[in-house]
Structure 1
Amino acid sequence: MSTIKSIKNFCEDHWRFGWEICKWLLFAATIFFIIGYVGIVLFYLGQFFSNYPKLHQQIVMYIHISTGSVMILFGSLQFFPPIRQRWPTFHRMNGYIVYVAGFISGIGAFGASLYPHGGEPVVLSGIIVSLYWILTIIMGYVRIIYKDIEGHREWMIRFFSLAYAILIMRIVVIVTQYGLGWDLKASIGAAIPATWLFFIICAEFYISNTRITFKTLDHVVNGEMLTSLPSWTKLKLISKTQHADQVCSFVFELAHPSMRVCVPPGHHMLLKAKTSMFTTIRPYSPVNMNNKTGVLEFIVKKYNNGKMSSFMHDCLSVGDEMEIKGPIGEFDYKANSYKHIILLAGGTGITPIANVITSVLNNPYDNTCLYLFFANRTDIDVILYQELKSLAKLHSDRFKLILVISRPAVDGLDYNVAKPNDSVIHLSPTETTCCTSSAAVTDINKQVVNVNLNTDLEFKRGRITKDLIKEHGPTPSRDTLVLVCGPHQMCFKMMGMMSSLGYSKSRTFAFGVSDH
């Protein structure tokens, strides 16, 4: 039994690593195909092109094979999450290469299908599949232009299912020709349509089982109408309030005052707006720490290159409408699944974290202990300060709040003197808090300096560090979950830091990274 348990634990800890190995094996198979098959074909051009005696046929095949090889090789890199997440510019530029090469190869495939050496089945299937190939390329490009990430993902899966069918098709040809004794024409005539059809079916099956679904929920509990927005719904903006520098809250009115949109902890809503020439869709986590009904509230930070955030801050006014639907998300939390949850948040990354906090603390049957390390640049940048402070006082036995700031709000401010405004956090001497933004985590090894704002408050100034986690967090164990949300740079640094401290990678979830 102990051996079985050890194997089970190992699989839980390393399943992501195993998936990465599978993807790299796929990449290796692609390289092998290009070198071992395409390379040989191009090396023995005379023998290969004997099946295509006319010059224009040979040109068409050469274009199809060469551009297809580029497309498959570069396209394999598009499926690796670390590349998409760490180097988005490379992912985008590499995508253009794949689009151009794939489109040209598709045209070549259409031309090549008119001159096959596999009989009528190859002609018919070749024409249909090559046209479908070109369609998937066009639709994938259109979807990403309109920022429809899910639609782009689905069309790209369809496109690459056709491309990778070629890998299997060659194996089928070899097996049927040399294993079953078929001639080349019969082998190719059976292999090409069969593998394409098989991979098209597999692609649609995979898409249908991984597609984001919006479940319809509509029932009344304790006088509240619990609902969801499974389709795009126009909601009116009734309030727009600035909380900090470049940070505003947007409150949208629901159809009924007693209505509440049920958003599972860590899940998001999709917001859609027409920005410039295109429609932009972005996920945002709603905030409802005061259990309000009849409204849907979002806290959004404006980024210089952020299309949606810039639109909401600069163009959206009270009385305007936005299209919203959801919820969506991959994070799944069940009460008492863990004894401890460490929450690492930076800036507006507190929004999905806040939903997890309220979900746990508002459940009288959930005994999970929470440790929030909340990072901001200055003390006036702390979002949801009053709500977090109230929860820390009310649930002091289960909720530990650690706020860290990277610099004072005012240069030269004496941190030994309490500031005469509401941003001073009044906690007992045993309670601590923490806050910083992405600037607060650029150096995870820098020592944290404790700063006393007044006699009943200990503020943390510096960065979220290993020492800070060791001092205020639980020891690494299988009963501890780590949740991270903030700028991508922060998420990757925190994930690496927590792994080095001994916290399991399989029990570390970064919103916007793990569910990208």
Structure 2
Amino acid sequence: MTTTALRPTTGTRSRREWWIPASLLALTFVPVLAGALRVADLAAGEPDAASQRFFDSPLPVVVHVVGATTYCILGAFQLMPSFRRRRPGWHRRSGRVLVPAGLAAATSGLWMTVAYPLPEHDNAALMVLRLLFGGLMVLGLVRGVVAIRRGDVRAHQRWMARAYAVAQGAGTQALVLGPMVVVVDQPGGGLKAAGMGFAWVLNLVVAEWLVRRGQSRRRV
């Protein structure tokens, strides 16, 4: 029996891997919808007490929503190994869009964290977490670009996966905080910070596992 017969064909492997972008796009749905509604609210020009800070300085909100939406949707296909191998040109071209979009999303998010008044149900711990993970996303994008320019594909994949995991935090946070809303109506303070922090860490752990598993399989 030959080695080729023991391995799945490229087509079979591709079909098996479609769960990766499909899952990521599903995870992106809630944040993308929330972002679109936020931009629609800004266009309507009807602020309330909770959204007044966005109307006072709307540009970072728009930059964040557009950047994050672009980054999360396009990035979902970058984590599909067979798709990257079959379409290397698309991978490179979309990467030139993804990096600026990711940086726009991360830096606008950092700016809003520092410049906007702290919302009623947030606290200093959550502010620190946003700065920490937002900074990690910027670091991941920069390190990923530096790594690929050096020809270090493995480091490039790991840093880009970490940046994308942070960007997808909002989707996982919706899943984590959703049950909390049912139980306590409006989680705030330490509970909200713990839930959001857990979601970011969970995403990073899963991304690290997926990338390292893929890299170890290619060495075999």
TM range (shorter): 0.7 to 0.9
The answer as to whether partners of 2:14 and 2:83 remain within 8 angstroms in 1 is no
Q: 1:17 to 1:182 in 2, by over 3 A?
A: same
Task: Measure, in 2, the Cα distance between the counterparts of 1:160 and 1:168.
Answer: 12
Shift of 1:68: 0.8
Give the AA of the match of 2:177: V
Give the TM-score normalised by structure 2. Answer: 0.77
The answer as to whether partners of 1:113 and 1:123 remain within 8 angstroms in 2 is yes
Give the AA of the match of 1:161: A
Q: 1:96 to 1:176 in 2, by over 3 A?
A: same
Q: Which of these residues, 180, 183, 188, is aligned with residue 185 of structure 1?
A: 188
What is the match of residue 74 of structure 2? 74
Q: 1:86 to 1:209 in 2, by over 3 A?
A: closer
What is the match of residue 23 of structure 1? 20
What is the match of residue 155 of structure 1? 159
Residue-pair matches, total:
204
Aligned ranges 1:83-232 → 2 under 5 Å = 83-114=83-114, 115=116, 116-117=118-119, 118-177=122-181, 179-186=182-189, 188-207=192-211, 211-212=215-216
Shift of 1:112: 2.1
After superposition, the C-alpha distances for 1:47-71 in whole angstroms (9 at most, x for unaligned) are 5883452656433233222211111
Shift of 1:44: 2.9
After superposition, the C-alpha distances for 1:117-166 in whole angstroms (9 at most, x for unaligned) are 21112111011111111000000111111121111111111111111221
Task: Measure, in 1, the Cα distance between the counterparts of 2:125 and 2:68.
Answer: 22
Identity of aligned residues (%): 16
Q: 1:158 to 1:51 in 2, by over 3 A?
A: same
After superposition, the C-alpha distances for 1:469-491 in whole angstroms (9 at most, x for unaligned) are xxxxxxxxxxxxxxxxxxxxxxx
Aligned ranges 1:295-334 → 2 under 5 Å = 329-330=219-220
Query: Which structure features the higher share of strand residues?
Result: 1
Q: 1:163 to 1:25 in 2, by over 3 A?
A: same
Structure 1 spans left out of the alignment, 5+ residues: 1-11, 214-327, 331-516
Give the AA of the match of 2:20: K
Task: Measure, in 1, the Cα distance between the counterparts of 2:99 and 2:129.
Answer: 22
Task: Measure, in 1, the Cα distance between the counterparts of 2:82 and 2:36.
Answer: 29
**CA RMSD of superposed structures (Å):** 3.0
Structure 2 spans left out of the alignment, 5+ residues: 1-7
Q: 1:79 to 1:200 in 2, by over 3 A?
A: closer
What is the match of residue 4 of structure 2? none
Shift of 1:104: 1.2
What is the match of residue 34 of structure 2? 37
Shift of 1:175: 1.5
Query: Which structure features the higher share of helix residues?
Result: 2
Task: Measure, in 1, the Cα distance between the counterparts of 2:89 and 2:214.
Answer: 26
After superposition, the C-alpha distances for 1:281-337 in whole angstroms (9 at most, x for unaligned) are xxxxxxxxxxxxxxxxxxxxxxxxxxxxxxxxxxxxxxxxxxxxxxx732xxxxxxx
Task: Measure, in 2, the Cα distance between the counterparts of 1:17 and 1:204.
Answer: 21
The answer as to whether partners of 2:162 and 2:208 remain within 8 angstroms in 1 is yes
- Structure number with bigger Rg: 1
Task: Measure, in 1, the Cα distance between the counterparts of 2:47 and 2:103.
Answer: 27
Aligned ranges 1:273-422 → 2 under 5 Å = 329-330=219-220
Equivalent position SS for 1:85 = helix
The answer as to whether partners of 1:136 and 1:159 remain within 8 angstroms in 2 is yes
The answer as to whether partners of 2:71 and 2:98 remain within 8 angstroms in 1 is yes
Worse overlay, 181-190 or 96-105 = 181-190
Task: Measure, in 2, the Cα distance between the counterparts of 1:137 and 1:156.
Answer: 6
